[in-house]
Structure 1
Amino acid sequence: MPASGQVFRDRVKLLVEKVIAEMGLEKRFRVETEYLSPHGSVVRDRDRRVDVAVLDSEGRPYLFIECKWQTSSGTAEDKLFRSAEEARRDRIFGVHSVVVLGGSGFNRKVFRWALTEGFVHETFLETWLREFFGR
């Protein structure tokens, strides 16, 4: 992951930890980065590392968060389609899954598609997390 992508992932992780702590859920959940998914990859026949994983108190995956950062037109847009498939598969296996978009470089058409697929823009992530964990 490029440096700016790592910074974005780390910001997302810190925000998830903050929301969990403020909601008093730190005994129920812990947060890890670069988590090796027990489901592998739906697209490639190999391992898959999830950017941010929220695990329950027994260490089972509860929420997977993929972070996609884009400052200019490029490969992250192509990877969005794979991310959508991975998120669908996670849900089939009973793990909540969301893709978070960051940066201003996404093509408008691809960006709108991503939002209709349930992706979340970083601007709305804190609100999304509070609603998700509050229900």
Structure 2
Amino acid sequence: MPSAGDDFRDRVKGLVEKVIREKGLSQKYRVEVEYPSPHGSAIREQGRKVDIAVLVLSDKDEPRPYLFLECKWQAGRGTAEDKIFRAAEEARRDRLLGVHSVVVLGGEGFGPKMRRWALTEGFVHERFLEAWLEEFFNQ
């Protein structure tokens, strides 16, 4: 049985695919779930799977990561607030290594201070994700 976090990730994936399709970019990009990051983890010395990866397709080379989206869902108060600090570090590292990266927040469980902090760190709330994606893929 899928969790609320899995449902959230699937909704985000669907929105990414919709924006790519509507912008006529389906031949250029492919969307994958649970993509093994070539960068590993910024915090722990081990592998890491990114919730959603947008890969650039090329006739000559293997598809390469273009955009990583980490999905953080929190229905009520809990441990996800602790986990978003690690997600911020992972996104920062991805960007330094040449892959656009953003953390998407969902649910009502993040407190106002945490949401404010996350938005100043470049996170995107699910309510604004479609507009963010449309602007990101504006070419």
- Structure 2 match to 1:83: 87
Cα deviations by residue, 1:78-133 (Å, 9 ceiling, x for unpaired)? 01100000000000110000000000010111111000001000000000000000
Instruction: Answer yes or no: is 1:5 the counterpart of 2:5.
Output: yes
Instruction: Letter of the 1:54 partner, please give it.
Output: V
Matched, 1:110 2:127: no
Take 1:51 and 1:113, find their aligned partners in 2: how far apart are those partners? 22
2:137 matched to which residue of 1?
A: 133
Residue 73 (1) aligns with residue 88 (2): no
- How far apart, in 2, do the equivalents of 1:108 and 1:97 lie? 23
Q: Which runs of 4+ in 1 moved over 4 A?
A: none
Counterparts of 1:6 and 1:95 in 2: how far apart (Å)? 23
TM-score of the pair, normalised by structure 2: 0.94
Q: Which residue does the alignment assign to 1:57? A: 57
SS in 2 for 1:111: helix
Deviations 1:8-67 (A, max 9, x none): 000000000000000000011000000000000000111100000000003100000000
* Structure 1 spans left out of the alignment, 5+ residues: none
Secondary structure, aligned partner of 1:54: strand
Q: Once the two structures are aligned, what percentage of the paired residues are identical?
A: 69
Amino acid at match of 2:13: K
TM-score when scaled to structure 1?
0.97
Find the aligned partners of 1:81 and 1:50 in 2 and give their Cα distance. Answer: 15
In structure 1, what residue type is equivalent to 2:130? E
Matched position secondary structure for 2:9: helix
5+ long unaligned stretches in structure 2: none
SS in 2 for 1:81: helix
Select the structure that is richer in helix: 1
